[in-house]
Amino acid sequence: MTAITTKAASAVPNFCEGIQYFGEALPDFETYGATPVIESGKRAIASPTDPNAVYQTLLAADALRYLTLQITASKASGHPGGFASQAEAYAALVMLGHKNIITEVGHHAPGFYSAMFLDRSLEDMGISTVQQLGDRFREKHGLLGHLSGYIPGILAPAGPLGQGQHFAMAAALLHRDKLFPFTLGDGGLGEPYIMSSMAHFNTAYPTATNFLPVLVWNGYSQEHHSMVSLKTNAEMIAYWQGNGFAEVVLVNAKDFDDQNQAGEYVDSTVFSFAKRLEFTKAVLVGMDKAARSALGGKLTVFIIKQLKGAGVHALGAKSHNLYPQDTLTAPHIVSALQKRALSAPAWQIVRTNAERAGGGPAAKTVVTEFELPLAEIGELPLVEYQVGAVPQVSTTVMGKLVGVVGNKDKNFLVTNADGNAASGIGNINEALKI
């Protein structure tokens, strides 16, 4: 792995300006990586078992890891470890043509920004090169530390844990023909309302299963073990099944480990290249199965089990965030970037696939980039109360108003049914029964 030289610069795509290190071509690149597997005019790979698709999904995963680490190290700040441990899963979703991806994890932000850069979405905010990507990371008018829905291609904000599933479920209800995956950390799984909200939603709308939790089971949450780090694979599967999930797809990196790594959580990036491809294929095939299941009416979860920090500067809890010493010139950062470095032609392949997937950049294709038609509400039964007159309970009239709106627009939902009657607005429950 070497730093780019001036002589070689002419062969490097313009968007790569700012990349610190380029690598040699990976094994068999000319066979499996020389031509974009997503053909011009297509939205996705043709088959998840196609060796070219598997190979180029691995390239995409490493590109995401490289960018995530370089942009965070450019500010010695940010969170690379969590996203890195599921890079294959995110790459698989994109290669399968699914770009309406949401997250529940604010600390996945640098990975999502890297993905938006790769498919050219960030050009809408003046970010065209890797140098600009790093310059504007964690800047007030740039790429904030936690996701903002204002960023081109990003569907929803991500701050406190336990929000992403709400956005995904709402989107699934409004757009039944599209898949809405959302990344979920195993630390976040300790928040009780994630699972309970999905159970409530599935009870109310059992046919709206086109949202897909993608659980990043990496053993660590922030700087400590996650709530579910000691669960066995069977226990984790049973946990999801017990909460109503009909299809549980679990891909465990340890099943492919040929480096005798200790513990239940391992790093796939240190496998032999052949085993890396096997693992990537399992993720791609598993994700395809999960996506089809979710779109086909089954409540589904995809779980990727891989050690936190896989492929970046540190492993486990230490990979969660960067500290002031974690700069682009720090030896351990340099070493990590060099290990993930791709060749210039590989970067171009990743960029082309990312741009073509899903029909174009996320900033031009995801549902939040379009206006949603709303029902005509018309006249509303408004009641004006006189200030200082005889006190009256206004909530009942408010409930009538809500009921009128809900009957004119069937997408208008009120979720606090249990508390309505006690608050004098039980009429909402009568008007808007599911």
pLDDT digits (tens, 9 = 90+) for 332-381: 999 999 999 999 999 999 999 999 999 999 999 999 999 999 999 999 99
Locus of tokens 């109360």: 385
d(CA 227, CA 249): 20
State how far the Cα of 115 lies from the Cα of 124, in Å rounded to an integer. Answer: 14
Length of the chain counted residue by residue: 434
Q: Residue 417: its pLDDT value, please?
A: 64
pLDDT of residue 331: 97
Per-residue pLDDT, 425 = 84
* Integer Cα distance of 93 and 101 in angstroms: 8
Q: Which amino acid is at 32?
A: Y
Measured CA to CA in angstroms, residue 80 lies from 159, 254, 272 at distances of: 16, 21, 23
**pLDDT, block means (10 residues), the chain with 434 residues:** 44 97 98 98 98 99 99 95 97 99 93 98 98 94 88 89 90 98 91 90 96 97 83 97 98 99 98 99 99 99 98 93 95 98 98 99 97 94 86 84 93 75 82 78
Torsion angle (degrees, nearest 10) of CA 53, 54, 55, 56: 50
Q: How far apart are CA 330 and CA 338, in angstroms?
A: 12
H/E segment holding residue 172: helix 164-174
Full set of structural domains in the chain with CATH: 2-369 (3.40.50.970), 375-434 (no CATH)
> Phi then psi for 135, rounded to 5 degrees?
-60, -35
Rounded to whole angstroms, the Cα distance separating 147 from 109 reads 5
How is 294-309 classified by DSSP, letter by letter?
Answer: HHTT--EEEEEE--TT
Q: What is the pLDDT of residue 286?
A: 99
Angstrom distance (rounded) from CA 179 to CA 44: 14
The model carries a pTM of 0.94
Q: Residue 304's beta-bridge partner residues?
A: 216, 251
Rounded-to-integer distance, Cα 168 and Cα 368, Å: 12
